[in-house]
A and B are shown apart, each in its own frame.
Chain A
Amino acid sequence: MTNPIIQIQDLHKSYSRGFFRKSSPVLNNICLEINSGEAWALIGPNGAGKTTMLHCLLGFLKPDSGFVKIFNKIPTVTATKKRIGFQSEIFYTYDFLTAHEVLTFYGSLSGIKKIELSKRISKYLKLLNLFDVKDVKVKNFSKGMLQRLGIANSLLKEPDIIIWDEPCSGLDPEGRLLITTISHQLISEGKTLLFSSHVLSEVESICNHVCLIKNGKILLNGNIDEIKSHSPHKSLEDIYMGHVK
Chain B
Amino acid sequence: MRGVTWIVAHNKILGFYRKKSWISIFAIILVCFIFPVLLGIKWYSKQDCTVNCSKEWIDGLYGFSFFVEYILLSLLAVYAFQEEKQSKSLLSILSTSISRIELLLGKMLGCLVIHCFFIAVLFVTHILICLKFQLPITFNFYISEFIDNIFYGVMIILILVSLSLVFSTPVSLSLFIIFYWITILFQLIDNDVHIILTSFKKILYYVTPLQVEKSLFEMSVPSFSNDELTKYILARIGSLMYSIVIFMMCLVLTKNSDLSLKD
Interface residues of chain A, those whose CB is within 8 Å of chain B, are 15, 55, 58-62, 78, 81-82, 84-86, 88, 90-94, 96-97, 105-106, 108-111, 150, 153-154, 157
CA distance A90 to B89 in the complex (A): 10
- 0/1 per residue, B82-100, Cβ < 8 Å to A? 0000011111111111110
Residues of chain B from 18 to 59 with CB closer than 8 A to chain A in the complex:
18-19
Question: Sorted from nearest, which 9 A-B pairs have the closest CB atoms?
Answer: A60-B260, A92-B88, A109-B96, A86-B95, A96-B18, A92-B89, A110-B97, A110-B96, A81-B97
Residues A93 and B92 in contact, CB atoms below 8 Å apart: yes
Closest to A105 in B: B11
Interface residues of chain B, those whose CB is within 8 Å of chain A, are 3-4, 7-8, 11, 14-15, 18-19, 87-99, 256-261
Closest to A59 in B: B94
Residues B7 and A58 in contact, CB atoms below 8 Å apart: no
Nearest-Cβ distance from residue B9 to partner chain A, whole angstroms: 12
Residues B258 and A60 in contact, CB atoms below 8 Å apart: yes
Residues of A within 8 A of B91 (CB): 60, 88, 92
Q: Which of B18, B89, B98 contacts A109 (CB under 8 A)? A: B98
Nearest-Cβ distance from residue A158 to partner chain B, whole angstroms: 13
Residues B15 and A81 in contact, CB atoms below 8 Å apart: no
Contact flag A111-B259 (CB < 8 Å), given A88-B88, A96-B14, A96-B15? no
Contact flag A109-B93 (CB < 8 Å), given A78-B99, A88-B88, A92-B88? yes
Known contacts A92-B87, A106-B92; 6 additional CB pairs below 8 A are A61-B261, A84-B95, A85-B95, A88-B88, A93-B89, A153-B92
Nearest-Cβ distance from residue B32 to partner chain A, whole angstroms: 26
Residues A58 and B97 in contact, CB atoms below 8 Å apart: no
Nearest-Cβ distance from residue A129 to partner chain B, whole angstroms: 21
CA distance A86 to B260 in the complex (A): 14
CA distance A31 to B105 in the complex (A): 37
CA distance A141 to B259 in the complex (A): 27
Residues B97 and A109 in contact, CB atoms below 8 Å apart: yes
Residues of B within 8 A of A96 (CB): 14-15, 18-19
Residues A60 and B259 in contact, CB atoms below 8 Å apart: yes
Residues of B within 8 A of A88 (CB): 88, 91-92, 95
CA distance A29 to B27 in the complex (A): 56
Residues of B within 8 A of A92 (CB): 87-92
Residues of B within 8 A of A110 (CB): 96-98
Closest to B88 in A: A92
Contact flag A109-B4 (CB < 8 Å), given A62-B256, A93-B89? yes
Closest to A163 in B: B95
Residues B96 and A81 in contact, CB atoms below 8 Å apart: yes
